[in-house]
Structure 1
């Protein structure tokens, strides 16, 4: 599955009553055709973004934000630029509990938790991505917040803990509920 595939199918809104929230620097990057030639990224990502986001933009269902922003009650966007200019975490709080969804800050857990300075070709700004990873790992370790992320083994939910060198991922125990 490509990163933007799930929001529409053949230009039709998959979630016609939903509003899509995207950090403004990402909209500026992905929807500006001049960036296709200036970027080191695969041009197909730009095409996928345009194909996926434009129907929401045209329907008035795309909202951008800059800076830490309350999207809805209990959901806060936390910009963490580096992987992309608008990369963001989303903190969800309810009933005194919280979880942070942190997207693409980690691509290779076995390398990047131990060495947060390691970047990948998909990081638009490698230096900012490495700095953001180190900053966010330290913050999440200190806060003990529950984290959910992509690019980690199922269930992709757990905690970040400091080690002698770098950090480690401690997944939550998963059990099926009836």
Structure 2
């Protein structure tokens, strides 16, 4: 028997020898966690990360492709992750510049009824978590979209088609706007039909207040668009700067902090152009690692901020410790 096992058993026997004390009051299970939001200073700005809830994809080897047989499952198990259910986070960034309140991506929402639960019941929590963080949707001045997939824009409106962000403009690459509102693209994988129907419903409510983003151009002061095509035709990441501080909101550049960092040329089942997506990912991750850039990833483990470093043929993820003292 190993020393550690003997020690654990010894501790158990010692506990069993304690005198029995009757329970004074049996507390019921609470059954829910705390609202998921995290706030920190970023230069002169205030940043808040708000969760839309977990996004379970099912079998990892079905979602992440291009590997040798068994390689995805082996890598998941080696990192204490369940290969039968790859679960992603949904971390929406809200930046208060002092002049504007900017939301990056909206989460799944409930605008498409049953289709809004295609990944299960744990999504669609952005609005309630925003309110728990003291932010009302009506305060948002600009919604910046990385792309027009369901888990990034379907909370622009509610189930009745009303704007959830009544005072906001919406920024998006024109290529994505055109692609995901075109019925002619309802071909290929089955998810294309609800994805396009959902994008049309959500984006059309803001057609009179759309802002078309352009590569390496300012969206608003402090936010620069960087084209990152492949996951979708107009997928865009955003550099947020304040003084000497810089952070890149990477959207869906890499969906998984292990699989697509260790093997950036693997592919993802929901990519519009998987090969281009992998090439874009490898190029940008190399740039971020070389420059030691702080990144904020929509799908990485909560709250999604950290840095990449080169490791072998890929990269490793180093999350930023949450600073509980930054706001006093």
What is the TM-score with the length of structure 1 in the denominator?
Answer: 0.93
Report the counterpart of residue 283 of structure 2 in structure 1: 135
CA distance change for structure 1 residues 136 and 16 in 2, over 3 Å: closer, same or farther? same
Residue correspondences, number:
175
Q: Of 143, 168, 171, which aligns to 2:316?
A: 168
CA distance change for structure 1 residues 34 and 70 in 2, over 3 Å: closer, same or farther? same
2:222, 2:181 → 1: CA distance?
A: 29
What is the TM-score with the length of structure 2 in the denominator?
Answer: 0.51
C-alpha contact 1:156 1:171 (8 A) present in aligned 2: yes
**Residue segments in structure 2 that go unaligned for 5+ positions in a row:** 1-107, 109-149
Q: Of 161, 175, 183, which aligns to 1:33?
A: 183
**Residue segments in structure 1 that go unaligned for 5+ positions in a row:** none
* Structure having the higher Rg: 2
1:119, 1:41 → 2: CA distance?
A: 18
Offset of residue 65 of structure 1:
2.7
Structure 1 vs Structure 2 CA RMSD: 1.4
1:88-129 deviation line (CA, Å, top 9, x unaligned): 001110121011100111122221111100111101001100
Offset of residue 41 of structure 1:
5.6
Structure 1 segment 1-178 matched on structure 2, within 5 A: 1=108, 2-3=150-151, 4-9=153-158, 10-37=160-187, 39-40=188-189, 42=191, 43-57=193-207, 60-177=208-325, 178=328
C-alpha contact 1:41 1:124 (8 A) present in aligned 2: no
1:90, 1:52 → 2: CA distance?
A: 21
2:190, 2:291 → 1: CA distance?
A: 34
